[in-house]
Amino acid sequence: MSSRFSPHVVPPPAHGLHPSGIPHPTIVSPIVKQEPPQPSSSPAGTSKSPVAVKKEEEKKPHIKKPLNAFMLYMKEMRAKVVAECTLKESAAINQILGRRWHSLSREEQAKYYELARKERQLHSQLYPTWSARDNYVRVTPPGPPAPSWGSKLKRLERAMDHGRV
């Protein structure tokens, strides 16, 4: 199995572009938003270089985690569900998506599982050194909970539901 890939593997993604020429959505530039018009200052000074930054990780463009099967399913069906419902709240839509997910047949679910496999495999080939922890912002405090953790505790409360009944 390990020999599946040609020995000519080229780990260094010097080019952020996918071999197909299609950039991956996982690549998010650190600065995507164009700041609003600024009075005074030097508007002309900063000539907008259309090129330069676009999808290269010159710096560290917060590479997102690869989407799992359900997330991929959500991306496709969400628009449809929203079109049929007057709701737009993701929280409610996601509940419907989750329900519909159970309605899928094995082959249908398998389709998304395999698709997610490719996403992960592609992600790993584009960023072999990337780690899921790189996106971690919330960290579990090693010691006892500090008083500043009031809001964060809500997360822990949900976590309790998972392992605690």
Partner DNA sequence: CGTCCTTTGAAGGAG
Partner DNA sequence: CTCCTTCAAAGGACG
- Residue 115 in the binding site for DNA (CB under 7 A): no
119: left (phi over 0), alpha (psi -120 to 50) or beta: alpha
- Residue 126 in the binding site for DNA (CB under 7 A): no
Report, in Å, the least distance between residue 28 CB and DNA: 8
Beta strand extents in the chain (DSSP E only)? none
Exactly one of 18, 55, 65, 111 binds DNA (CB under 7 A); which one? Answer: 65
Rounded CA gap, 118 and 163, in Å?
Answer: 31
- Residue 82 in the binding site for DNA (CB under 7 A): yes
- Residue 136 in the binding site for DNA (CB under 7 A): yes
- Residue 139 in the binding site for DNA (CB under 7 A): yes
Segment interacting with DNA (CB under 7 A) among 7-15, 37-45, 49-57, 131-139: 131-139
Rounded CA gap, 74 and 88, in Å?
Answer: 13
Nearer to DNA, 13 or 113 (CB): 113
69-84 vs 90-103: helix crossing angle, rounded to 10: 110
